[in-house]
Amino acid sequence: MTRFRLLTHLNTPQGQKALGHTGYIDGPSSRYFPGDDLAGRFVRALAERRAVPMKEVLESFEFFAAVRREVRRETVLDLCAGHGLVGVLFALYERSVERVCLVDWRPPESRKKVLEAAASVAPWVRDKIELMDHKIEQLDTRMPKQACVVSVHACGQRTDQCIELALESGGTLAVMPCCRSKRKSICSPAVALHLGHDLAIDIDRTYRMEAGGLHVRWASVPEVITPQNRVLVGKPRLTDGGPQPSVPAQQSALE
């Protein structure tokens, strides 16, 4: 079982009680985060505002912990960001991150609460955050080069759009896919038949990421948070001449 990396107190029997809280994190549930470290103070600030469900808190923190050291860049784009908690964590913890773009066409009201909570414990976050209320496809002309692209549970083809934007940027990438579309999938039917469609789609995505010049590894968040817990992490594969794709980026090795 994958252990919690950032919220490590949840690995204890006492901390495990927090996993049974299925609703919004609120005043009573903030007792599960008693520490005076930055994580504890931030989660309690989220609880005071009843900003997001407990699941979203655990998911975002553990996704961030699983990928932060490999993908952090001066600019981070949190695509299909929703409440924006993942991007905010990069602004909160990473000194080398100077700009975080929260990209979502229809951001929820919870985004404002998350930003307020972050600013209450880490005022420096305000100067790093940029709100971009756009669709992913509108980023084609605005995409900064060599940026970090992250996205958690961007539904279906949106994850593939995130991958393509990251390949165009030449930066790093971390996505945790969900809602994989069988109808629109380009993965091998034979692989899907034997391994299951979800796994086959992510294998195909891995080949496309590697074809685009990324070194890829698979990570995960604890399955107790979500069964859709596979994380694809990519960073430029360096050679003497810089990042070098093995085959054209648009070509799938399983097609």
Pairwise pLDDT comparison (245 vs 166), residue with the higher score:
166
Task: Confirm whether 252 is domain-assigned.
Answer: no
Which pLDDT value is given to residue 120?
A: 98
pLDDT digits (tens, 9 = 90+) for 203-232: 999 999 999 999 999 999 999 999 999 999
Q: Does the pLDDT at position 243 exceed 60?
A: no
Which pLDDT value is given to residue 205?
A: 94
Q: How far is CA 232 from the centre of its chain?
A: 10
End-to-end CA distance of the chain: 33
Query: What distance separates the 2 farthest-apart alpha carbons in the chain?
Result: 55
Q: How many CB atoms lie within 10 A of CB 93?
A: 17
Q: 26 phi and psi, to 5 degrees?
A: -140, -170
Q: Does the pLDDT at position 1 exceed 80?
A: no
Q: Give CA angle at 98 (144, 61), nearest 5°.
A: 100
Average pLDDT (16-24) is 89
Banded model confidence at residue 252, pLDDT cuts 50, 70, 90: very low
Q: What is the DSSP letter of 206?
A: H
The least confident of 30-44, 47-61, 179-193 is 179-193
Q: Does the pLDDT at position 11 exceed 90?
A: yes
Write the single-letter amino acid at 162: C
Task: Confirm whether 254 is domain-assigned.
Answer: no
Q: Does the pLDDT at position 250 exceed 50?
A: no
* C-alpha–C-alpha distance, residues 84 and 78, integer Å: 7
Task: Confirm whether 20 is domain-assigned.
Answer: no
Pairwise pLDDT comparison (20 vs 100), residue with the higher score:
100
Alpha helices in 49-156 (DSSP H): 54-71, 85-93, 110-121, 125-128
Q: Give CA angle at 80 (75, 83), nearest 5°.
A: 90
Close Cβ partners of 162 (under 8 Å, ≥ 6 residues apart): 79, 80, 136, 149, 151, 154, 173, 175
Task: Confirm whether 6 is domain-assigned.
Answer: no
Which pLDDT value is given to residue 14?
A: 84
Domain of 150, in residue numbers: 55-243
* C-alpha–C-alpha distance, residues 171 and 162, integer Å: 12
Pairwise pLDDT comparison (115 vs 240), residue with the higher score:
115
**How many structural domains compose the chain?**
1
Are 94 and 87 within 8 A, CB to CB?
no
Task: Confirm whether 180 is domain-assigned.
Answer: yes
What is the domain-level CATH number for residue 68? 3.40.50.150
Task: Confirm whether 28 is domain-assigned.
Answer: no
pLDDT digits (tens, 9 = 90+) for 67-91: 999 999 999 999 999 999 999 999 9
Which pLDDT value is given to residue 142?
A: 74
The least confident of 46-50, 208-212, 250-254 is 250-254
Task: Confirm whether 23 is domain-assigned.
Answer: no
* C-alpha–C-alpha distance, residues 243 and 24, integer Å: 43
Which pLDDT value is given to residue 248?
A: 39
* C-alpha–C-alpha distance, residues 213 and 173, integer Å: 12
Q: What is the DSSP letter of 193?
A: H
Task: Confirm whether 33 is domain-assigned.
Answer: no
